[in-house]
């Protein structure tokens, strides 16, 4: 029996729900399902490929349906966790940390990982942004405020003695969606952008942008967890076997992608065509995949370091913070930046 899927596209606050299962099922939608959220981006290859090649379906009970919800921003995913409309999700460390603290550590846990790296700082040719002395008056962009790329961009500015305009500096930071970043970059209305794949490669290959650096280059040992697998805490407590099976399928999918890179790229574009109505050029997919490490093992130290960076920017409040209990250690293994990690 093929497990039925339901896909919900939630982009910029607009939700479209479409049934895509091809078999009849007597599934009780209120109980016998797991709702998974992720982005339609290459750094989220694990859920996309695992859905397309049926790894997740084959690892779950045949009477359990999988409801897919595709988002365009991490904070939206966290809000869906809070509203009990998502059970497990793939999202960057920024929204995960914010969500954990906002709920006083009660609403979500890190269950694993899906990717390291996969973001870059892309600049316009002749922008002068290769030199930190040339940032005055420049306009740089990242997706939604407090998301993973936004924190990284603002931390980079801070580390180089620069401030965004709203903090009294003279660098203008725009927080806009990835499609809008692409449009403004094409028009020359922004000088640089800190974006995930495949957007980074698209800016380079299609708009003649320059990849100033990959974000992993500024992390210890070139490792940081960019996509984490998280679960809603009460769902983990109520359905431990389902969650355990999902974690297992996540690990199997990671292995499958690393053993079948060419087929994985085809499945990614198959998903894009079937669910998003478009595909990416093979060259974009190939280059984007080369910028990420597919792994199910979180780099725990990078998550804590990311929190320190977010806190230094004022994103984590004024009263201090604690990440005790963030990782659901019963089901996952973690690695420090000093340990050798297999992708």
Kindly report, residue by residue over 21-75, the tens digit of the pLDDT.
322 233 334 368 999 999 999 999 999 999 999 999 999 999 999 999 999 889 8
Q: Is the pLDDT of residue 154 over 60?
A: yes
**Same domain membership, residue 124 and residue 181:** yes
CA-only gyration radius of the chain, Å? 19
My answer on whether 132 and 210 are in the same domain is: yes
Mean of all residue pLDDT scores within the chain: 88
pLDDT at 329: 76
For the whole model, what pTM was predicted?
0.87
* Interval 212-269: pLDDT, tens: 999 998 888 889 999 999 999 999 999 999 999 999 999 999 999 999 999 999 999 9
Tokens describing residue 64: 């359990």
pLDDT of residue 318: 80
- On whether both 165 and 230 belong to a single domain, the answer is no
User: Domain with 184 in it: what CATH number?
Assistant: 3.40.190.10
In a domain, 331, yes or no: no
Question: How do residues 314-334 score in pLDDT, each as one tens digit?
Answer: 999 888 899 999 999 755 555
Task: Give the model's pLDDT for residue 32.
Answer: 86
User: Can you give the pLDDT at residue 332?
Assistant: 53
* Domain closes at, from 163, 192, 222: 222
Q: Are residues 107 and 209 in the same domain?
A: no
For residues 75 and 88, which has the higher predicted lDDT (pLDDT)? Answer: 88
Owning domain of residue 270: 5-118+223-312
Q: Is the pLDDT of residue 144 over 90?
A: no
Same domain, 36 and 108: yes
- Whole-Å CA distances, 183 to 138, 203, 207, 239, 292: 17, 10, 10, 43, 24
Residue 190: pLDDT above 60?
A: yes
Q: Using the predicted structure, report yes or no on whether residue 155 has a pLDDT greater than 60.
A: yes
Residue 341 lies in a domain: no
Same domain, 273 and 241: yes
When divided into structural domains, the chain yields a total of 2
Tell me: do 27 and 86 sit in the same domain: yes
Residue 38 and residue 89 in contact, taking contact as beta carbons nearer than 8 Å: yes
Please indicate, yes or no, whether residues 211 and 234 belong to a single structural domain of this protein. Answer: no
């Amino acid at each position: 029996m093929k497990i039925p899927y339901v896909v919900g596209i939630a982009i910029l606050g607009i939700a479209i729900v479409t049934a895509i299962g091809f078999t009849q099922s007597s599934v009780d939608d209120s109980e016998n399902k797991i709702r998974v959220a992720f982005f339609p981006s290459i750094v989220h290859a694990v859920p996309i490929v695992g859905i397309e090649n049926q790894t997740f379906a084959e690892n779950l009970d045949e009477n359990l349906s999988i409801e897919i919800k595709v988002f365009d921003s991490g904070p939206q995913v966290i809000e869906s966790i809070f509203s009990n409309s998502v059970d497990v999700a793939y999202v960057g460390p920024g929204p995960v940390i914010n969500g954990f603290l906002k709920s006083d550590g009660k609403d979500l846990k890190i269950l694993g990982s899906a990717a390291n790296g996969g973001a870059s700082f892309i600049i316009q040719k002749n922008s002068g942004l290769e030199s930190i002395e040339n940032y005055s008056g420049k306009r740089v962009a990242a997706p939604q405020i407090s998301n993973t790329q936004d924190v990284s961009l603002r931390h980079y500015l801070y580390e180089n003695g620069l401030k965004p305009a709203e903090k009294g500096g003279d660098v203008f930071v725009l927080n806009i969606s990835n499609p809008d970043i692409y449009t403004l970059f094409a028009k020359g209305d922004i000088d640089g952008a800190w974006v995930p794949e495949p957007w980074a490669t698209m800016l380079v290959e299609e708009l003649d942008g320059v990849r100033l650096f990959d974000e992993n280059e500024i992390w210890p040992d070139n490792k940081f967890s960019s996509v984490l697998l998280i679960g809603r805490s009460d769902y983990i407590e109520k359905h431990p076997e389902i969650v355990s099976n999902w974690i297992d399928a996540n690990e199997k999918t990671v292995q499958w992608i690393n053993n079948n890179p060419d087929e994985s790229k085809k499945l990614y574009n198959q998903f894009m065509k079937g669910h998003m109505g478009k595909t990416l050029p093979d060259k974009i997919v190939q280059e984007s995949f080369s910028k990420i490490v597919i792994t199910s093992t979180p780099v725990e130290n990078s998550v804590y370091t990311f929190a320190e960076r977010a806190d230094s920017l004022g994103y984590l409040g004024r009263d201090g913070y604690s990440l005790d209990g963030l990782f659901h250690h019963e089901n996952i293994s973690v690695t420090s930046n000093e340990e050798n990690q297999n992708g």
